[in-house]
Chain A
Amino acid sequence: MTALPTKKLEAWRYTDLRPLSGISFVAPPVGAAPALPDLGLPRLVFLNGVFNAALSSPFAFARGFAPVAEDSALPLAQINAEQAHDGATLHVPAGVDAGTVLLISHATGDVPFAFHLRHRITLGEGARLTVLEIAKGEGIYWHNPVTDITLAANAALTHIRVQEESRAAYSLATIRASVAASASYEHFTATIGGQLSRTEIHAALTGPGALAHLNAAQLLNGTQHGDFTTVVAHKAPGCASRQTVKSVLADTARGVFQGRIEVARGAQQTDGFQLSQALLLSPGAEMDTKPELEIFADDVKCSHGATVGALDEEQLFYLRSRGIPEAQARAMLIRAFLEAALEPVTQKEARTLLEAAINNWWVQP
Chain B
Amino acid sequence: MLEIKNLHARIGEKEILRGVNLTVPDGEIHAIMGPNGAGKSTLSYVLSGRDGYEVTEGEVIYNGQNILDLPPEDRAAAGIFLAFQYPVELPGVGNANFLRTALNAVRRKRGQEELDAVAFLKLARAAVKSLHMKEDFLKRNVNVGFSGGEKKRNEMLQMALLKPGLAILDETDSGLDIDALKIVAEGVNALRAPDFSALVITHYQRLLDHIVPDVVHVLAAGRIVRSGPKELALELEARGYAGLEAA
Mark A residues whose CB is within 8 Å of B. Answer: 312-315, 317-326, 328-329, 332-333, 335-340
Contacts and interface: CB of A to CB of B under 8 A. Distances in A.
A320 B92 contact: no
Given A320-B73, A322-B76, A323-B77, A335 B92 contact: yes
B92 A324 contact: no
8 contacts: A315-B90, A319-B98, A321-B81, A322-B106, A322-B158, A328-B101, A336-B92, A339-B91
Given A313-B51, A336-B90, A339-B92, 19 more contacts: A314-B88, A315-B88, A318-B87, A318-B88, A319-B102, A321-B72, A321-B75, A321-B76, A321-B81, A323-B73, A323-B76, A323-B105, A323-B109, A324-B73, A324-B101, A328-B105, A333-B93, A336-B91, A340-B92
A-B pairs with lowest CB-CB distance, top 3? A336-B92, A323-B76, A339-B92
A337 B87 CA distance: 19
Contacts of B162: 322-323
B48 interface: yes
B84 interface: yes
A325 B105 CA distance: 7
Nearest to A332: B93
A320 B72 contact: yes
B163 to A, nearest CB: 11
B145 interface: no
B71 A317 contact: no
Contacts of A322: 76, 98, 102, 105-106, 158, 162
Contacts of B87: 318
B90 A318 contact: yes
Interface residues of B, number: 28
B71 A326 contact: yes
Interface of B: 48-51, 71-73, 75-77, 81-82, 84, 87-88, 90-93, 98, 101-103, 105-106, 109, 158, 162
B158 A318 contact: no
Nearest to B86: A314
A321 B92 contact: no
A287 B92 CA distance: 22
B162 to A, nearest CB: 7
Contacts of B75: 321
A337 B90 CA distance: 10
Nearest to B101: A324
Contacts of B109: 323
B198 to A, nearest CB: 16
Q: Which of A319, A322, A326, A329 has the most CB of B within 10 A?
A: A322
B186 to A, nearest CB: 21
Contact of B48 (A313, A321, A324, A325): A321
Among A312, A333, A336, the most chain B Cβ lie within 10 Å of the Cβ of: A336
B72 A332 contact: no
A319 B90 CA distance: 9
Nearest to B48: A321
A319 B73 CA distance: 8
Contacts of A325: 73, 105
A328 B76 CA distance: 15
B102 A323 contact: yes
B167 to A, nearest CB: 12
Given A317-B51, A318-B84, A324-B102, A336 B72 contact: no
Nearest to B75: A321
Contact of B73 (A326, A332, A336): A326
Contact of B82 (A315, A321, A339, A340): A321
A354 to B, nearest CB: 15
Contacts of B72: 317, 320-321
Contacts of B91: 336, 339
A312 B162 CA distance: 24
A323 B87 CA distance: 16
A333 B109 CA distance: 22
A189 B50 CA distance: 37
A321 B102 CA distance: 9
Nearest to A329: B73
A220 to B, nearest CB: 20
A313 B77 CA distance: 20
A93 B194 CA distance: 73
Contact of A332 (B50, B51, B88, B101): B101
Contact of A324 (B81, B84, B88, B105): B105
A45 B103 CA distance: 43
A319 B84 CA distance: 12
Nearest to A317: B50
Nearest to B76: A323
Nearest to A340: B92
Contacts of A329: 73
Contacts of A314: 88
A315 B144 CA distance: 12
Contacts of B71: 320, 326
Contacts of B81: 321
